Every structure is written in C-alpha cells, then in structure tokens.
Amino acid sequence: MIGGSGFQPTSSSDVIVEFKSRVDENFYGTAGVILQPAGTLQADGMFALPFDMFGFSVIGSESTVNGINGPICYLALNWAPVEVQALNVDPEVWHTYQIRLHQVSRIKWMGTVSVDGSELCRLMMPAFGPLEIQVWSDNYLVSTQPQRWWQIAPILELGFQVGGNKEFHLDDIRIFEEVK
C-alpha cells in the first residue's frame, strides 16, 4: 500500500508520519512504514528506482537485519541496510510511532523515530528529494551477511516462508508538516 507523495522537509518545516501499530504473537516476515523517494514503486508494485528508504519495520524472530530483529529503525540505500537500530519495545503492544525527517542542509537530512513520545533512533541520511510512503507486510525471510573488506555494504538475502496467518495492525496514520 502506498499513499501520499511529493512531500519533503524544508528549511522551515519537518515532515512527520505518525501512526499506531502492533503485531500479533504469531508474527513472521517483515512489515513496516517507510519513506522513500517518490516514484520508487510503480502502480503495480514493481520497483522503478533503487530502494532507498528510512523508517520503521518489524522483523520476525526468524529473520535478522544486521543481526537485529523485532521493531527497528533503519536506513537502506539501494537495498543495503546502511544503519539499523533496535527500538527495544514490545511489538505485540499498541504503540504510537512517529517518523520525522528534518532538513539539515540541501544534501543532508536527519531522520528520527520516536515511540510513545520518546525518541529512540536518530540517523543522518542523504536528502531523498520528494517522498512517498510505503506501508507493507510480507512473508520474507531476511538475513544479512557481514560486510567483507571488499564489499561496500552487507549482503541482504531474501527468501520466502509459509508460516500461517499473521497480523500487522496499523491505525490512525497521519502525514503532516511541523513548522520549526
């Protein structure tokens, strides 16, 4: 599901996505809410641009991204997980999440993720330009291989799994700007 596009932080305002979320106890795969450059996905869901993104994801216990699973904040550039931080909250409990993008300079932004009003993640990132939102839930089995000296980034491996029913709950999603 994709909604909203064309917004970006400016020198006078931040972009904020706020929502409530939880997963059920049988959760597997991945799910989340992220901001990515506008036009990354075509109407049919196929990728049209490299997958650059920042936001929130829940990674099932059978998967890892840079050795971390559960609720995470992360930045990926061309699919590679550049920075990943655990959020250390119970994903089975309703929480209010806030993703904020702040313009630091013409070429650099700061992304933050807050949970229930507490900032738990802060990452510097390249300016993506106009944005769109992607909300998803899938059955990926995710793992990353450590970066070797000759590689630019860790290798992301994707497989699929059949684990039965699972639920990613999302409620009260809002996209707005906040004047600095």
Q: Where are the domains of the chain?
A: 2-173
The tens digit of pLDDT for each residue in 100-154 reads 999 999 999 999 999 999 999 999 999 999 999 988 877 655 556 666 656 555 5
From the list 140, 123, 126, the residue with the least C-alpha distance to 58 is: 140
CA distance 106 to 121: 22
The yes-or-no verdict on residue 1 having pLDDT over 50 is no
| DSSP string over 94-128 | -EEEEEEEEESSSSEEEEEEEETTEEEEEEEEE--
- CATH class (in words) of the domain with range 2-173: mainly beta
Q: What are the structure tokens assigned to 153, written together?
A: 């980034």
Q: Is the predicted pLDDT of residue 162 greater than 90, yes or no?
A: no
Q: Which residues contact 95 (CB under 8 A, 6 or more apart)?
A: 20, 21, 22, 89, 115, 116
| 49 pLDDT tier (thresholds 50, 70, 90) | confident
